[in-house]
Structure 1
Amino acid sequence: MSAPATVTAPRPVQRQHEVLTDAALAFLAALHRRFTPRRDELLARRTERRAEIARTGRLDFLPETAHIRADPDWRVAPAPPALQDRRVEITGPTDRKMTVNALNSGARVWLADFEDASSPTWENVIGGQLNLIDAFERRIDFTSPEGKRYALRPAEELATVVARPRGWHLDERHLTVDGRPVPGALVDFGLYFFHNAHRLVALGKGPYFYLPKTESYLEARLWNDVFLFAQEYVGLPPGTVRATVLIETITAAFEMDEILHELREHASGLNAGRWDYLFSLIKTFRDAGEHFVLPDRNAVAMTAPFMRAYTELLVRTCHRRGAHAIGGMAAFIPSRKDPEVNRTAFEKVRADKDREAADGFDGSWVAHPDLVPLARESFDAVLGERPHQKGQLRDDVSVTADQLLAVDSLKARPTAEGLRNAVAVGLRYIEAWLRGVGAVAIFNLMEDAATAEISRSQIWQWVHAGVVLEGGEKATAEVVRAVAGRELAAVRDAVGAEAFAAGRWREAHDLLLKVALDEEFVEFLTVPGCELLE
């Protein structure tokens, strides 16, 4: 009999034995031995493909899969009852308070996030699994330091859980098989599926997943094979698992049909992951000079022509194939102190959700429970009593490769304030992430790893393209270091010397500058970041 996965964490987490049972560790080992070699090949393929795109400066729809896109007859499997109505989805990490609040939020779906909204400390990886098990067993509650108690509402009022494992690029260094770390994706998926699949089926739901950072239909094929193996392993029929794929890489935007086709027995939809999408676009075309230089992050609206092309193609593709189209994140965090900030932000959120509903999306994301009613109003106005609007086929949409890549259609230019904001957000987010906090309220927005990635990738792009900022200053490494130094000093002044020393500000500063200024672009800041955790 093959050996199970080995736990190498230096310190155990309370109750981790309930998650890391012998049977669960054997399941992880089986997943690892069967699928990690293919994961490795696909990561190598990412690098080769990026090099080809850099050489040619082009990306297009795949000629070898044209028959899949042209075939009008295939559809994904019908959505199960629990995923028919997805008009509002709330996202957040799987800490105990968020677990209770997200399930109680009034949203139809909770994206229980082991990925961008979670810093992958051992405590978060295992604690998140325990919190979900406890929630399904209705033995979870939470009491704040102020004494406020949070408990679950009746089962019929709770959001449906859709778990998001880590992307294929991250390893879980605390679990090894045959001397190698197990991919974080297989750890998060495997533990959640192994412990909860039968429990969820008994509750009338199922093991549902969001799949992040997918770059090709071959990666979707790998996930589909993982699902088939896992279902057989625990004695559940094919199609019990359902997956929604985040279209948050520029290469995946050219393979939406193919991704759904690979997963069609298990697919339930696609999501427009806007921040990671912009990060991917910058990363993929980082050598293309001024043509692919984006302005300040907050200046890239979803109404930009290339973003409209991406989202409208997503809706058309999903509805043509019978899948849900889920819109992007409203990241605003309501202020308890500034009603004017709330009024302005609520207007923007409402306009964003109204646009998505009118475009044919079947639902959308919010980051805070206070935004659930606002988003629901936008979709209620269009959907009424219908669970979705898949009948809106958007046959008026026809998107070309040039339209998806028309970044130079934006008239705005990067600014000195945009550079400062990128440094400020990156510094504050990375510091919190190093302390184990993956979802961070910064300047009234809920930031996660995706927004930190776009912050540092924009800095890298502006410096390496020699961009002259609006106002005449050139973006250079020296300018960035000076801005970072001022931001670090501002934080020290704001939080005080004692709190500053207790934090991880200097390490965050150094990591930000490394991933933003090194000559060789680091594919994901979380990879070197993981070496600094714990």
Structure 2
Amino acid sequence: MNITTIDTEPTTTGSFSTTKPWIEVTAPLGERYDEILTPEALAFLAALHDRFAGIRHDLLAARMQTRVHSANGRDPKFLPETDAVRRDRSWRVAGAGPGLEDRRVEITGPTDRKMAINALNSGAKVWLADQEDATSPTWANVIEGQITLFDALRGQLSFTNPDGREYSVEGRMGLAHGGPAETPTIVMRPRGWHLTEKHIRFHDRAGRSMSASGALVDFGLYFFHNAHRLIELGLGPYFYLPKLESHREARLWNDIFQYAQNALSIPQGTVRATVLIETIQAAFEMEEILYELRDHCAGLNAGRWDYIFSIVKTFRSRGRRWVFPDRASITMTVPFMRAYTELLVSTCHQRGAYAIGGMSAFIPNRRDPEVTAQALEKVTADKRREAGDGFDGTWVAHPDLIPTARAEFDAVLGEQPHQLARLREDVTVTAAQLLDIPSIGGQVTEGGVRDNVRIGIRYIESWLRGVGAAAIDNLMEDAATAEISRSQVWQWVNDNTVTAEGRRIDREWVESLVEDVYADLDRFDGDRFADAVTVFRQVSLEPEFPTFLTIPAYARFL
């Protein structure tokens, strides 16, 4: 198929004048892509980029400066300049929008048609429609994911497997039919601020051309096509906001929400956002993030895997005190993770925001009862702890885990939809507790290093083929868990860490592990293992540490 260029110049559509700033699509157009990439929608994207792309760039530059400070020994802290916001106990967030009142079990997953149908038929209260860590951002996934959401919201989503099996959504969506929703409320997660969409280019007023922001593309297309439809269904445009590192980044999202609602003549406050607290920097600014988004905020989520990755990344070169043990040792019950989750629940409930728990990586295997029994046991313990700590809901990554998670939250919530009245005033968390890495305990073992190499390569290979959520050794791996694996390898090599068995972890040994893993892989037609090894070496063994493995992998291979 030939590459097709679509642009918006010099169209004027409604309030979106695109004579100067304009959007250009430079990628193959598949079936029905023109229903999403309409001139009007592209004009909306151009308007978003015209107003907000420069601020995004400035905030990404601020992230770079923060990383320099961290590398030079400056620890994150609760900001003195925003102390008045934290001390003012009078303000509250907007809270749950229609269809978000009960969030006790949310299912996460990518937006391909089959997975979307499974999620919508799962019985969960919310579907996190993930265009981020569970989705590899191939051009097809980005636009066809939008088509999936478009069809789902209009009751026309179906899928036929190559073997002829047919899938369709069984229940009714929304609240407008007068009864309770029969499918989960959709909360869409766009890509983070750091990712670009290289198949869409923005041409600014000065004539400069640049790749579009993945976040603005994902948000803009979904909002433009579906905001009014969601309101018709008695719901609203709801979003999960990933990878924030400061309240200033939350303020940018709030400004975008205000602009988008005005542009489409939607009442202010219709949007609801749930922010993932998945960076160590954001953990110190939870209240400020809620404050900046207060008119559009539903809650916070404990994004555990990215949070662990963020800490490894932030302190990776700060010496032996910050060296993490095997990934399997970093559980939700170690002190620094307990401090993080308890602070999140307390912060949320003081401000009228929902606290949503994280995703346990264990998944059942329908062909192996023993694996399934172990997964259910571990998920039960995880969700019992969350419900007991005051979380209002939690995530699962597999439909078979929903009854297990729901049972634990039902036992605590009963008929109540949340635990907002439980303020957790017993919680006091200090900066030292959030940064207490030595208390993890555990060791770095040769087996742990091998596991990280193997998981990293296998996940990256899946991602390069366009599969962003991959079941590997009975664990659900996504970009966040792969980031932990490769960043730990980088840290161990650069710290000259010695394993419990007495072996120094150096580049040469890890290279030999990479070769061993590659030789043992089950190859198949169309696999991307050779490319995956190239990416893994770059993000784990090169002196320069890429802030996200997806950035160089996307630029080179997608």
TM-score norm. by structure 2 comes to 0.93
SS at structure 1 position matched to 2:256: helix
SS at structure 1 position matched to 2:227: helix
**Are the equivalent residues in 2 in contact too, given 1:436–1:533 (CA < 8 A)?**
no
SS at structure 2 position matched to 1:82: coil
Among 145, 148, 159, the alignment partner of 1:142 is 159
**Are the equivalent residues in 1 in contact too, given 2:364–2:373 (CA < 8 A)?**
no
Distance, in Å, in 2 between the alignment partners of 1:78 and 1:364 is: 17
How far is the alpha carbon of 1:331 from its aligned partner? 2.3
Among 160, 165, 187, the alignment partner of 2:185 is 160
Amino acid at match of 1:137: R
| 2:277 matches 1:229 | no
**Are the equivalent residues in 1 in contact too, given 2:94–2:296 (CA < 8 A)?**
yes
Distance, in Å, in 1 between the alignment partners of 2:406 and 2:439 is: 32
Of the structure 1 ranges 332-341 and 452-461, higher mean CA displacement relative to structure 2 is found in: 332-341
- Counterpart in the other structure of 1:524: 548
- Counterpart in the other structure of 2:37: 20
- Counterpart in the other structure of 1:389: 419
How far is the alpha carbon of 1:54 from its aligned partner? 1.9
Correspondences of 1:223-372 after superposition (within 5 Å): 223-372=253-402
**Are the equivalent residues in 2 in contact too, given 1:272–1:326 (CA < 8 A)?**
yes
Distance, in Å, in 1 between the alignment partners of 2:340 and 2:362 is: 23
Amino acid at match of 1:171: T
Q: Deviations over 1:197-234 (max 9, x none)?
A: 00000000010000000000000000000000000000
Among 186, 190, 198, the alignment partner of 1:173 is 198
Among 459, 467, 470, the alignment partner of 1:429 is 459
How far is the alpha carbon of 1:292 from its aligned partner? 1.0
Among 23, 29, 32, the alignment partner of 1:5 is 23
Distance, in Å, in 2 between the alignment partners of 1:127 and 1:502 is: 21
**Are the equivalent residues in 2 in contact too, given 1:272–1:314 (CA < 8 A)?**
yes
**Are the equivalent residues in 2 in contact too, given 1:331–1:368 (CA < 8 A)?**
no
| 2:538 matches 1:514 | yes
Q: Deviations over 1:126-182 (max 9, x none)?
A: 000000010111111122233332211221210000000000001101111112111
SS at structure 1 position matched to 2:557: coil
Distance, in Å, in 1 between the alignment partners of 2:248 and 2:498 is: 40
**Are the equivalent residues in 2 in contact too, given 1:434–1:532 (CA < 8 A)?**
no
- Counterpart in the other structure of 1:205: 235
- Counterpart in the other structure of 2:147: 130
- Counterpart in the other structure of 2:404: 374
Count of residues in Structure 1 that have an aligned counterpart in Structure 2: 527
Distance, in Å, in 2 between the alignment partners of 1:290 and 1:474 is: 14
**Are the equivalent residues in 2 in contact too, given 1:31–1:186 (CA < 8 A)?**
yes
Correspondences of 1:33-48 after superposition (within 5 Å): 33-48=50-65
Amino acid at match of 1:510: T
**Are the equivalent residues in 1 in contact too, given 2:44–2:220 (CA < 8 A)?**
yes
Amino acid at match of 2:514: A
Amino acid at match of 2:25: V
SS at structure 2 position matched to 1:456: helix
SS at structure 1 position matched to 2:387: helix
Q: Deviations over 1:316-374 (max 9, x none)?
A: 00000000000010222211222111111211100000000000000000000000111
Structure 1 alignment gaps of length 5 or more: none
Distance, in Å, in 2 between the alignment partners of 1:533 and 1:202 is: 40
Q: Deviations over 1:80-116 (max 9, x none)?
A: 2311100000000000001111011000000000000
Amino acid at match of 2:518: L
Q: Which has the higher helix share?
A: 1
SS at structure 1 position matched to 2:460: helix
SS at structure 1 position matched to 2:556: coil
**Are the equivalent residues in 2 in contact too, given 1:268–1:324 (CA < 8 A)?**
yes
Distance, in Å, in 1 between the alignment partners of 2:56 and 2:78 is: 23
Of the structure 1 ranges 337-346 and 237-246, higher mean CA displacement relative to structure 2 is found in: 337-346
How far is the alpha carbon of 1:56 from its aligned partner? 2.6
SS at structure 1 position matched to 2:218: helix
SS at structure 2 position matched to 1:74: coil
Q: Deviations over 1:2-31 (max 9, x none)?
A: 24311011x212110000001000000000
Amino acid at match of 1:6: E
SS at structure 1 position matched to 2:274: strand
SS at structure 2 position matched to 1:84: coil
SS at structure 2 position matched to 1:83: coil
SS at structure 1 position matched to 2:537: helix
How far is the alpha carbon of 1:294 from its aligned partner? 1.1
Distance, in Å, in 1 between the alignment partners of 2:509 and 2:303 is: 31
- Counterpart in the other structure of 2:8: none
**Are the equivalent residues in 2 in contact too, given 1:282–1:457 (CA < 8 A)?**
yes
Of the structure 1 ranges 71-80 and 250-259, higher mean CA displacement relative to structure 2 is found in: 71-80
Distance, in Å, in 1 between the alignment partners of 2:81 and 2:324 is: 31
SS at structure 2 position matched to 1:322: coil
Distance, in Å, in 2 between the alignment partners of 1:231 and 1:312 is: 34
How far is the alpha carbon of 1:241 from its aligned partner? 0.7
Distance, in Å, in 2 between the alignment partners of 1:410 and 1:73 is: 37
Distance, in Å, in 2 between the alignment partners of 1:2 and 1:531 is: 28
SS at structure 1 position matched to 2:58: helix
| Segments of 4+ moved more than 4 angstroms | none
Distance, in Å, in 1 between the alignment partners of 2:290 and 2:232 is: 27
Distance, in Å, in 2 between the alignment partners of 1:199 and 1:118 is: 24
Distance, in Å, in 1 between the alignment partners of 2:251 and 2:196 is: 20
**Are the equivalent residues in 2 in contact too, given 1:143–1:150 (CA < 8 A)?**
yes
How far is the alpha carbon of 1:532 from its aligned partner? 3.1
- Counterpart in the other structure of 1:121: 138
Distance, in Å, in 2 between the alignment partners of 1:56 and 1:299 is: 25
Distance, in Å, in 2 between the alignment partners of 1:410 and 1:100 is: 40
Distance, in Å, in 1 between the alignment partners of 2:168 and 2:467 is: 23
| 2:504 matches 1:474 | yes
Q: Deviations over 1:33-74 (max 9, x none)?
A: 100100000000001011112223422110001111111111
- Counterpart in the other structure of 2:14: none
Q: Deviations over 1:374-415 (max 9, x none)?
A: 100000000000000011100000000000000001220111
Distance, in Å, in 2 between the alignment partners of 1:81 and 1:34 is: 29
Amino acid at match of 2:147: L
**Are the equivalent residues in 2 in contact too, given 1:27–1:190 (CA < 8 A)?**
yes
Among 56, 64, 70, the alignment partner of 2:81 is 64
Amino acid at match of 1:13: G
SS at structure 2 position matched to 1:8: strand
Percent identity reads 59
